[in-house]
Structure 1
């Protein structure tokens, strides 16, 4: 487990990326063939990961990714978070998803697997768009 007084450089980078999300992400911490999965999508490759973040930058307004916790044990990092954004619909719904991320590192400390687990269903996220 990381020293609670002084996080590892990788944990510091991830923490900063959450604070800046979705802008100025540190893609260099990801392996070229990184595997990504969440309840809506699954793919492999850093280029696809960058496209997904660009999509979020373009279509999700006022995105905020609040880090609730982060810990590392060996080659695994787990974060707890709350993601929120405003969808650019005429009534501007504010969407919120809580969940956690499980990352696995290779021997070079690059993220080779990034799996997001939501505390709600994709259906409940869709429903948030229609609560006025």
Structure 2
């Protein structure tokens, strides 16, 4: 399906050159820190990430389509703008719900770690799990 290729490319380019035309105007977005509706706010959030953080990489580990829902498994890596420039690593997954026209009407992100763990990465840096 074409949307899968678009999503793969958007993850590779993230946060630059995103394909906003695959989202409905009133798209619903939710992650552990944000919840809102509307493509304008979605674009603003992506722009903020790109302007505030540095060295952003969004590694796509898996993508699958089941009925009207795309699921992606990913890890977001970025450098915080704090003076000691900690490198953050946020593993998670997204559920992208599609309408009958194939547009994304809901983008819900889940993290495999808590927001508290992300805050600790800002303070102490990312520690690789030794398992």
Q: TM-score range by the shorter chain?
A: over 0.9
Q: Which residue of 2 aligns with 1:59?
A: 52
Q: Which residue of 2 aligns with 1:102?
A: 95
1:114 maps to which of 107, 112, 118: 107
The count of aligned residue pairs is: 125
1:30 maps to which of 23, 30, 41: 23
1:48 aligns with 2:23: no
Give the unaligned 5+ runs of structure 2.
126-131
TM-score of the superposition, structure 2-length normalised?
Answer: 0.94
- CA deviations over 1:11-37 (Å, ceiling 9, x no partner): 000000000000000000000000000
The alpha carbon displacement at 1:130 in A equals 1.0
2:4 maps to which of 11, 29, 42: 11
Give the unaligned 5+ runs of structure 1.
1-7
Structure 1 segments of 4+ aligned residues over 2 angstroms from their partners? none
TM-score of the superposition, structure 1-length normalised?
Answer: 0.93
RMSD (Å) for aligned C-alpha atoms = 0.6
- CA deviations over 1:64-116 (Å, ceiling 9, x no partner): 00000000011110000000100111111000000000010001100000000
